[in-house]
Structure 1
């Protein structure tokens, strides 16, 4: 996948683990539940397009009431970069701090845990545990979908 333009827009590199995950699976849903953003210029699930749209109305400084105590990432600042979402209003971000991307924590909120939660693990481990680890509460769907699966969806389906 051509990550160069996306990373150029962001002004930083994305986690290698995430890029491998997106390249391996492509566009689709994990267990009909979790969708990761990717490179799909003009598409509804393009990472840089989603990031730009979330930050378009954000205040230039201080807390953003929609994401407090965080804010959407802007180059040179600490902030949230979206990387995925779930079918139950789950939102998944990295807390980008300008440091090593593979060490950024994941920050999430969703139905059932409206307050922000931060976890320190790779994107692929988080995705795996959501779909396969029933002990990964409150994020896991493993009890509802005992056999994890991936459904590839044609990229044209995700066009805006």
Structure 2
């Protein structure tokens, strides 16, 4: 896979990545096959972050927001449609909603999707990027590894991504082990919902004035405000 070879030159993988999952089991859970390049990416890098900005979802992740096999992909499809239809002038989707499968996220809360069309030919799937569940969209004609290589090499500038993405160099940072100091509900309760709502509105992310804050907004806030998590 030439793209993966070039990507590892720019972003060296960890010496000992996390063990790859049982792909037969994962695909059986999902009810579909996954692209071969994604499986190779996971085997080479494991969970982590490219350029301290772009993270891929992976099977059976301990955090629901990053779990490729969890409810998040379906939930995001539903929320995209809810946000789209709530606008005064609903914008058209560049791809059928049912073909979008979330598999990554950025530090700005932008989501990466496979365009799973046709569903039985995963190695032909292209990549779509959505700005925080709203328009605009960006579509990349190529697989996920080719997309990552284009982004980190600078040959493609995704309009939704910051222009200074590569200013600090290209790198891959393995994910830290999940700390078991508190249950997810306890951690969520310790966060200040007022601050999260204030940040979301300033970022342009739609958020309800009352009630439970969606988990994907909480996770986006955590990625944007890591220093506050240690207070």
Taking structure 2 as the reference length, what is the TM-score of the superposition? 0.55
Instruction: Tell me which residue corresponds to 2:187.
Output: none
**Distance of aligned partners of 1:72 and 1:11 in 2 relative to their CA distance in 1, 3 Å threshold:** farther
CA contact (8 A) 2:102 2:113 kept: yes
CA distance in 1 between counterparts of 2:139 and 2:52 reads 24
* 2:104 equivalent in structure 1: 84
Q: Pick 1 or 2: higher relative contact order, CA cutoff 8 A, min separation 6.
A: 1
Please give the alpha-carbon distance, in whole angstroms, between the structure 2 residues aligned to 1:34 and 1:13: 23
1:124 to 135, 145, 167: 145
Counterpart CA distance in 2 for 1:43 and 1:137 is: 27
Q: Higher strand share goes to which structure?
A: 1
Runs (5+) with no aligned partner, structure 1 = 74-78
TM-score by length of 1: 0.76
* Cα offsets for 1:62-106 (capped at 9, x unmatched): x93446635654xxxxx1111101001211001112231011111
Q: Distance in 1 between matches of 2:100 and 2:52?
A: 25
CA RMSD of aligned residues (A): 3.0
**Aligned length, in residue pairs:** 149
Which residue among 105, 114, 135 is the counterpart of 2:135? 114
More divergent stretch after superposition (64-73 vs 15-24) = 64-73
Matched, 1:19 2:36: no
Offset of residue 142 of structure 1:
6.7
Deviating more after overlay: 45-54 vs 133-142:
133-142
Q: Which of 148, 161, 178 in structure 2 is aligned with 1:156?
A: 178
Which runs of 5 or more structure 2 residues have no equivalent in the other structure?
A: 1-19, 85-91, 185-231
Counterpart contact for 1:130–1:139, Cα < 8 Å: no
Q: How far is the alpha carbon of 1:138 from its aligned partner?
A: 1.6
